[in-house]
Amino acid sequence: MQKTYLAAMPYSSSLTDKEWEILEPLLPEILPNKKRTRPPNWTKREILDGMLYQLKNGCNWCDLPKDLPPYSTVFWHYKQWRSDGILEQIMTTLHSRVREQVKKNQNGQLY
């Protein structure tokens, strides 16, 4: 059963709609279509919100709030995205965008 994502941000670590618009195209599909046996129970945004909650609060994975995806789901995706280089790619892309916004190139020199 697909859960609907609440528009309100229940936690300070939750993504805003604008942040999600930037991150969504960078994220992989949760599982490749050929391996998917049923529709996912959680959206990529909900899974990422779980990761961000854990990072911000420094809690154990098993202590994620019950309105976020189960910790086993969040942690499994974290391990997959980390080993596939997805998290590094996201950081590199976001870093480049911030550098562009402050008019600096990758070496830190002003244009």
Give pLDDT tens digits for 11-60.
Answer: 999 999 998 988 888 776 544 555 667 778 899 899 999 999 999 999 99
Please tell me the predicted confidence (pLDDT) of residue 37.
72
Q: Identify the bridge partners of residue 110 per DSSP, sorted by sequence position.
A: 104
How much is the mean pLDDT over the chain?
Answer: 81
Average pLDDT on 71-76 reads 94
- Token pair, residue 51, equals 């990761």
CB 63 within 8 A of CB 16: no
**109 versus 55: which is more confidently predicted?**
55
Compute and round to an integer the Cα radius of gyration of the chain: 16
Q: Between 93 and 29, name the one with better pLDDT.
A: 93
Report the pLDDT value the prediction gives residue 110, as an integer from 0 to 100. 58
- What average pLDDT does this structure show over 73-96? 88
